[in-house]
Amino acid sequence: MKQFNVPNIYRSSLISAVKQKRRLDDKLKKDFSPTLLDFGPIQIYLARHFGFCYGVENAIEIAFNTIDENPGKRIFLLSEMIHNPLVNADLQNRGVQFLQDTYGKQIIPFETITKDDIVLIPAFGTTLDIENMLQAKGIHTEKYNTTCPFVEKVWNRSEHIAEKGYSIVVHGKPKHEETRATFSHASSHTATVVVNDMSETIELGKYISGEKSPELFYTEFKGRFSEGFDITKDLQKIGVVNQTTQLATDTQEISDYLKQVIKKYYQLTDENMEERFADTRDTLCYATNDNQTAVSEMMETQADLAIVIGGYNSSNTSHLVELCEKKLPTYFIDSADRIINQHELIACNWKTKDQSHIHHFLPEKHPVKILITSGASCPDSLVEAVIRKLISFYPVKKDIETLIESFG
C-alpha cells in the first residue's frame, strides 16, 4: 500500500514500532489479537488496527503539500478535513479557512471566494451541487480533492448498479458530510433514500411490503429521499450502500433485512434474488472493517476498562466506543489532556456528545489492565501521549524507549 508523507508531529516512535512488528509477524492480517505493552503495574493492550487510514493519510498529505506549494494564496477547506480537532487546528494555524461546519452551515459565504483561491475538498467528499458551483467560478478542485478512494468506490458502485435499474438505499447518518455527498452522487443516477439505523429500515421495509400507506413515506422520510422519488415503484429493485464509517455489521444487518423483505414479498429464491436486490458487499471500507474487527477481538481480553481516542464528531470513532461499551467501562477522549490525574478524567458521551468528569476511573488493583484504540482520523502521536500520561501514575518497570527497542 502507498506510503504517505504525513507530518512528523502526527507520528509516534512507539506506535510505529508496534505496527511495524505486527505487520512483519502477520503479513496476511489474520491475527486480530491486541498487542500487550507490559509496564508492570499497568498493562496496556493496543488494538491490532487503529489510527490513520489510507484515506486520512492521503487527505493530510494533499492538504499540507498544498499549503507548502502555495505561499501567499488563500486556501479554503469546504469543511473539516477530517474529524480530528488537532489536525483541523493545525491547518487553521497555517492559514487554511473553513467555508462550512460539519453539518453544512455556512461560515464564509461562497460569494467571497474567487477563481484565484484554492478550495480543498475534504476526505468525506462533497455534493455535486457544490462541485458544480466551484467549477462555475473557475475554481479547479481536481488537484485539491482529498476525497477518500473508498468513499469514491461507494459512489462508483452506486452508479454501476443504478445503470442496471436499481434504486439506492444509503445507510448513513443523514447530516454527516459523507452521507450528504454519497446521497448527492447516488441520486444523480437513480432514486435514492437514506436510512439511519435498523428501526428506520424496518419502517422502510413496510413500504416495500405494502404494510404502510404510501403517502406516509413522504412525511416519515422527509428530506432524505431524492427529487421525484415514487414510493409505489422506486423500492421494487434496490441496492444498499453505506457511509463508510458506519458499523459494518449494522450495514450488513440492514442489507440482509431488506433482502429478506423483498425475497418474501416477491416470492424469490436465492438464485433469482439479483432480479430485485443488488450485491453491494464490496462497498464496505477495509479500515472500518479492520478497526471494528480488531476491537471485537480486543474485547475478548480480560481488562478493567477501555479508552477510545479520537474526535468527538468522528463517526467511526463513536462506533468503536459503542462496541467497547458493550463489555467494559469505556472512556471516550480526544487527547491526553482529558486525563486530569490518576483519579479523574473528562470523557465524552458518544451518543449525546456531552462531556463529564469521571472520578476513580482507574481501579486500585495490580496490575491495572487497559484496552486502547483510536479512530481512523486520530494521529498516533495522541495515542502515545495518552499512554505516557497513564504510565506516569505508576512506578513502571520499563520506560517507553526501552519498550520501543524490544519491538525493533
Is the pLDDT assigned to residue 319 strictly greater than 90?
A: yes
Q: How far apart are CA 116 and CA 346, in angstroms?
A: 44
pLDDT tens profile 214-267: 999 999 999 999 999 999 999 999 999 999 988 888 999 999 999 999 999 999
Instruction: Kindly indicate the confidence band of residue 344, based on its pLDDT and cuts at 50, 70 and 90.
Output: very high
pLDDT value of position 301: 97
Return the higher-pLDDT residue of 330 and 249: 330
Sorted by sequence, the CB contacts under 8 Å of residue 300 that are 6+ apart come out as none
Return the higher-pLDDT residue of 289 and 338: 338
Active-site residue, 178 included: yes
**Among candidates 335, 371, 341, which has minimal Cα distance to 357?**
341
Q: What are phi and psi of 72, to 5 degrees?
A: 90, -15
What global pTM score does this model have?
A: 0.90
Is the pLDDT assigned to residue 284 strictly greater than 80?
A: no
pLDDT value of position 70: 96
Domain chopping of the chain, boundaries: 8-53+287-406, 54-144, 149-284
pLDDT value of position 107: 96
DSSP string, 160-221: HHHTTT-EEEEES-TTSHHHHHHHHHHHTTS-EEEE-SHHHHHHHHHHHHT-S-HHHHHHHT
pLDDT tens profile 165-190: 999 999 999 999 999 999 999 999 99
Q: How far apart are CA 257 and CA 326, in angstroms?
A: 23
pLDDT tens profile 196-215: 999 999 999 999 999 999 99
Instruction: Kindly indicate the confidence band of residue 52, based on its pLDDT and cuts at 50, 70 and 90.
Output: very high
pLDDT tens profile 9-29: 999 999 999 999 999 999 998
DSSP 348: E
pLDDT value of position 1: 60
Q: Which of 80-84, 111-115, 310-314, 392-396 has the weakest average pLDDT?
A: 80-84
**Among candidates 347, 345, 357, 355, which has minimal Cα distance to 393?**
345
**Among candidates 355, 367, 276, 292, which has minimal Cα distance to 324?**
292
**What's 149-284's CATH class?**
alpha beta
Reading phi first (left if > 0) and then psi (alpha if -120 to 50, else beta), residue 125 is in left
Q: How far apart are CA 370 and CA 330, in angstroms?
A: 10
Q: How far apart are CA 347 and CA 332, in angstroms?
A: 5
**3-state DSSP helix/strand/coil % of the chain, to nearest 5:** 40, 15, 40
Q: Does domain 54-144 have CATH number 3.40.50.720?
A: no
- Mean pLDDT confidence for 288-312: 96
DSSP 145: B
Strand 238-242 to strand 35-38: parallel, antiparallel, or no bridges (unpaired)?
A: unpaired
DSSP 240: E
Return the higher-pLDDT residue of 89 and 408: 89
Sorted by sequence, the CB contacts under 8 Å of residue 279 that are 6+ apart come out as 239
- Mean pLDDT confidence for 382-394: 97
- Amino acid at residue number 119: V
Work out whether the CA dihedral 113, 179, 330, 400 comes out positive or negative: negative
pLDDT value of position 310: 97
DSSP 106: B
Q: Does domain 8-53+287-406 have CATH number 3.40.1010.20?
A: yes
pLDDT value of position 286: 82
Cβ–Cβ < 8 Å for 117, 74: yes
Q: What are phi and psi of 75, to 5 degrees?
A: -120, 125
57, 177, 178, 384: which one is catalytic? 178
Instruction: Kindly indicate the confidence band of residue 288, based on its pLDDT and cuts at 50, 70 and 90.
Output: confident
Percent of the chain with pLDDT over 70: 99
**Cα distances (Å, whole numbers) of residue 80 to 99, 103, 182:** 9, 10, 17
Residue 340 in 3-state DSSP? Answer: strand
Percent of the chain with pLDDT over 90: 89
- Mean pLDDT confidence for 102-107: 90
pLDDT mean across residues, the chain: 94
pLDDT value of position 287: 85
- Mean pLDDT confidence for 355-368: 96
Is the pLDDT assigned to residue 377 strictly greater than 80?
A: yes
- Amino acid at residue number 367: P
pLDDT value of position 285: 80
pLDDT value of position 5: 86
Is the pLDDT assigned to residue 282 strictly greater than 70?
A: no
| Same fold for the pair 8-53+287-406 and 54-144 | no
**Among candidates 321, 330, 309, which has minimal Cα distance to 378?**
309
- Angle (CA) 241 187 245, round 5°: 35
